Homo-oligomer: A and B are copies of this chain.
């Protein structure tokens, strides 16, 4: 199976999928979609992802998957080793909850199209950055005790999971918006560990072909 990832170096949702692909040791072609330049609105990209968002994953025969969490679940089902989810239902619920806290309640409030809409509504850059920090800090406040209680080196347990695929890109995004991570030591410790892990290193925005 030939995989093609459509992403943008700095966007956090494709970054999640890159981590999953790297953890699984899967090779893929990379197609940069320049979100800052508006490439996502091109008609040929709409045929790949009707939402005009990244990521999309081509899996061959003209079939494209969208939505980062759905893609990661598909990767885990079709390439089970190493697993991105724990072996028990409660553990899977915990990991998926962490993923949801980030992918539903933090990141979508701060992505490009939302910040552009806020700008159209007269919110200047300082106001937009404060907006982004509010949702990230609210989310990290709830996440910090969860990962402190249930993580043993990673967000849940002692191996990287779907939760870490979401958490590490969210920490990267937090840095862009000036969130003070000293308030979240358990999360910061996971991020520090990821800096030394080859899969997380390979997936980092700075290592992508379209990084500027």
* Chain A interface residues (CB < 8 Å from chain B): 50-53, 63, 65-71, 73-74, 77-78, 89-90, 92-94, 96-97, 99-101, 103-105, 107-109, 114, 117, 121, 123, 127, 131, 134, 138-139, 141-142, 145-146
| Total identical chains | 2
The 10 closest A-B pairs by CB, nearest first: A67-B100, A70-B96, A50-B142, A67-B97, A74-B93, A70-B97, A51-B142, A77-B89, A104-B104, A70-B93
- Set B51, B92, B146: member contacting A101, Cβ < 8 A: B51
Could you say which residues of chain B place their CB within 8 Å of the CB of A107?
104
Could you say which residues of chain B place their CB within 8 Å of the CB of A104?
67, 69, 103-104, 107-108
Is the pair A77, B92 in contact by a Cβ cutoff of 8 Å? yes
Residue of B nearest to A95 (CB): B70
Is the pair A63, B51 in contact by a Cβ cutoff of 8 Å? no
The docked-state distance in angstroms from the alpha carbon of A183 to that of B50 is 16
- Set B101, B114, B117, B145: member contacting A67, Cβ < 8 A: B101
Could you say which residues of chain B place their CB within 8 Å of the CB of A74?
89-90, 92-93, 96
